[in-house]
Each structure stands twice: as C-alpha cells, then as structure tokens.
Amino acid sequence: MTLIKRMEASIRFLDKTLEYFAIFTITVSVLLAFAGVILRYQFGISYEILAEISTYAIVYGVFIYMGPLIKQNEHIKMTILQDLLKEKSKKYIDLFISLILFFSFLFLLYAGIGWISSLLEMKSKTLSGGMLLFIPALSIVIGMVFGLLYSTLEMCRTIFLIRSDKSGGEE
C-alpha cells in the first residue's frame, strides 16, 4: 500500500464523521425552523432563540464540512487554467492552491480566536439574548482547524504525487 493510499485510508473515518455531523446540523436546522413556523402561525408563540439556533446550526455544518470538500477537490477554484495545462503542471497548481488555502485558514483561525476572546471578555449575547455570541463564532475557529488539517493533507498528498512522478515509482 502506497503512502498516499495509507494517508487517505486513515482520514476516511474523520470524513464520514464530519459528513454525518453536517447532515445532523442541517436536519436540526430544518426541524427547528419548521417548529418555529408551527409555533408562530398555529399558536402565536415566537421564540427568537429557535431561529438563531437554526441559523447557527447551518453555519456549523458548512464550516465543519469544509475540510472534506477540500479533500474532494471541491473548493472554489478556477478550472479554465487547469483545463489547458498538462497533468504535471496541474499538480503544481494544486499544491499552490493548497498553500493559499493553508495560509488563508491560518489567518482566519488567528482572527477567529481573537474575535472569540473579545466576545468572551465583553460577554456579548446574540440578538435573542439567550446565547453567548462566542458560540456561533466558535464555528469559524472549528472550521478553520479542519481546513488547516485538510489543506495540510492535500499539500502532503500533492508533494508525494510530485515526488513519485519524479522518481518514476510509488512511495
């Protein structure tokens, strides 16, 4: 088994866990939104916290599943240039994109930690007043950690592919 295949196999469990978590958060969001609509229009009761949790559940799901999308090469990128390049050049472009993603996630992680610490110091709450604001902001930090992990894995995978092309064999 090549090093790349072992690396991909070892991360498969995390991929599935994050996928199930993203599905769970979207399901929670839909159910809470539905419950909010029923409560509001059938019983005249409105809880702002339900709408907030519904919204933030989607945010968590999106940020959590960002890492596996990087691995699947589904992140935002322009493919026009890649369609014109040879296979060897595409690997270097992928490495460059992974580097850009890595440093972007690193910067956003640093900024997110600073933001969360300031929210905790101020004890800021969401609009409903029922939740501390750092809880939804924490989704950014968690997403950036997974983004860093997956962009690092993609850089390693691409480097191993480039090295195996140069050596003419598998590592």
Q: Where are the beta strands (DSSP E) in 11-129?
A: none
- Tell me the percentage of the chain whose pLDDT exceeds 90: 27
Give 153-169 pLDDT, tens digit per residue.
Answer: 888 888 888 887 776 65
- Residue 125's φ and ψ, nearest 5 degrees, are -120, 160
Average pLDDT value for residue range 66-95:
69
- C-alpha dihedral, 22 to 25 to 31 to 35, nearest 10°: -160
Angstrom distance (rounded) from CA 80 to CA 145: 29
**Higher local confidence (pLDDT), 48 or 74:** 48
- Give CA 159 to chain center in angstroms: 22
Is residue 132 helix, strand or coil? strand
Average pLDDT value for residue range 48-57:
88
Asked whether residue 1 carries a pLDDT value surpassing 80, the answer given is no
Give 6-45 pLDDT, tens digit per residue.
Answer: 777 778 888 888 889 999 999 999 999 999 999 989 988 8
Q: What is the model's pLDDT at position 73?
A: 63
Q: What is the model's pLDDT at position 144?
A: 92
Which residue pairs from 28-37 have beta carbons closer than 8 angstroms and sit at least 24 positions apart in sequence? 28/53, 28/54, 28/57, 29/53, 29/54, 29/55, 29/57, 29/58, 29/61, 30/54, 32/57
